[in-house]
Amino acid sequence: MFLDRVKVLLKAGDGGAGASTFRREAHVPRGGPDGGDGGRGSSIVFRVDAGQTTLRDFQYRHHYRATPGGGGQRARRHGKVGDDLVLDVPPGTAVYDDASGELIADLVAVGQEAMAARGGRGGLGNVHFATSTHQAPRHAQKGEPGEERWIRLELRLIADIGLVGLPNAGKSTLLAALTAATPKIADYPFTTLEPNLGVMDLAGDGGIDADQRRPTVADVPGLIEGASSGAGLGHAFLRHVERTRVLVHVVDGASRDAGWDFDVIREELRAHDPVLLEKPTLVAFNKMDLPAASEAWPAFRAARKRDSLRTVAISAATGEGMDAFRSAIAELLPPLEDESLPEPSGIVVHRLDAAPDRVTIRRESEGVYRVVGRRIERLAAQTDFTIEESAERFQRDLERLGADAELRRAGIEPGDTVIVGSVELAWEAEPWSARR
């Protein structure tokens, strides 16, 4: 099945832990701290690759995990930093944060990248925590956890020309006639299940004034009545149509009622997005080699003329009318100098972590309080609570960032639970009295 929307779970690499080590030298009995910092965890990046045309690879694999940073080492050596994990996507992929629906990036040009999950920072080694009064700290930070999030990818094809029409109208045949593409063509509806792309040559016989433009043509799978409300994967296919500059509406001229066929598609385009009806459109009345079509053509043309729509009679199978078709397209397409402009805005990258730094307290249930704040949550994640010195340090962080006072104001009592990020702590009576 053609896939244009997938969800994937990304887990960037955790930062490596800082080391807690002490210098060991032959003649120095008690060396100072020398634990190096942990390395940054790898991030996960989406990058546009010209070789990709679908999001199919993501259908088979939903979970991606980047490598963690290496741990710090003695002698102040830093932990290893791995390469980012790069996931290739086709041009026209929009990257969303699934939970918030926020657009992270709209990737249209080959080579464009967007970071979707940031690797965790490495923890600081104990060498950073020595002070004049505390010269042999055992405390070292754990690495920051790598970002983990569900991402939704949506593919909207980007082509200059989109071929739309009912199934069996001859869209794939036309694509094959115009370009070197070799789509599957058959005498039954829904032959085309995913868009095919080809590159068209407008130059014709060449010559000095030959048209240099090389528009891309997308053969979109057939649309049916109800497509705009999802029938026959209609939503997916109409999304592709959004990103074309020019529409070619292919009509089977030999059908029982070509005018009615035409109206069905116009109505679906309108229902999906009325803007689609304002796109430059060429109506290609196909199968003119069949008598039924050539008989129906004059009335069909007259009716479209009343709507001021441009029409051309063709036979995709025999090549009849192809020159008229090319010159009509040449007029509808923007001039060469505008061509490099992608239809949508291009890349849009929003800040990933805009969470406020302020500490707030939420009472989750009787006797359970949650401390919320980017900084404090990160510190909690980076604290190794099995090391007493590190746990004490975290208590001071709570105090320093104002969480302590806020918790008391909220009415916390001894024995209550405090949650910070994924860490749960028990609140004890006068927790830091021993230190004062």
Residues that bind Mg ion (CB under 5 A): 171-172, 191-192
- Choose among Mg ion, ligand GTP, none what residue 290 binds, the Cβ cut-off being 5 to 8 Å by kind: ligand GTP
Site for ligand GTP in 66-105 (CB under 6 A): none
- Judged by beta carbon, residue 142 or residue 249, the one nearer ligand GTP is 249
Q: Between residues 145 and 253, which has the closer beta carbon with respect to ligand GTP?
A: 253
Interaction of residue 286 with ligand GTP, rule CB under 6 A: yes
CB of 90 to ligand GTP, least distance (A): 20
- Nearest approach in angstroms of CB 41 to ligand GTP is 46
Q: Tell me: does residue 316 bind ligand GTP (CB under 6 A).
A: yes
**Smallest gap, in angstroms, from Cβ of residue 2 to ligand GTP?**
12
Tell whether residue 324 is a contact of ligand GTP (CB under 6 A). Answer: no
Size of the site for ligand GTP (CB under 6 A): 24
Q: Which does 228 bind (CB under 5 to 8 A by kind): ligand GTP, Mg ion, none?
A: none
Q: Among ligand GTP, Mg ion, none, what does residue 382 contact (CB within 5–8 Å per kind)? A: none
* Minimum CB distance to ligand GTP, residue 284 (Å): 10
Q: Does 167 bind ligand GTP (CB under 6 A)?
A: yes
Neighbours of 410 (CB within 10 A): 13
**Residue 168 binds which one of ligand GTP, Mg ion, none, with CB within 5 to 8 A depending on kind?**
ligand GTP
Pick 171 or 326: Cβ nearer Mg ion:
171
The reply to whether 423 sits near ligand GTP by the rule CB under 6 A is: no
Q: Out of 86, 103, 181, 185, name the contact with ligand GTP by CB under 6 A.
A: 185
> C-beta of 70: minimal distance to Mg ion in Å?
52
Yes or no: say if 321 and 314 are a contact pair by the CB < 8 Å rule: yes
Q: Which stretch binds ligand GTP (CB under 6 A): 38-46, 114-122, 181-189, 416-424?
A: 181-189
Rule CB under 6 A: which residues touch ligand GTP?
A: 165, 167-173, 185-187, 189-192, 221-222, 286-287, 289-290, 315-317
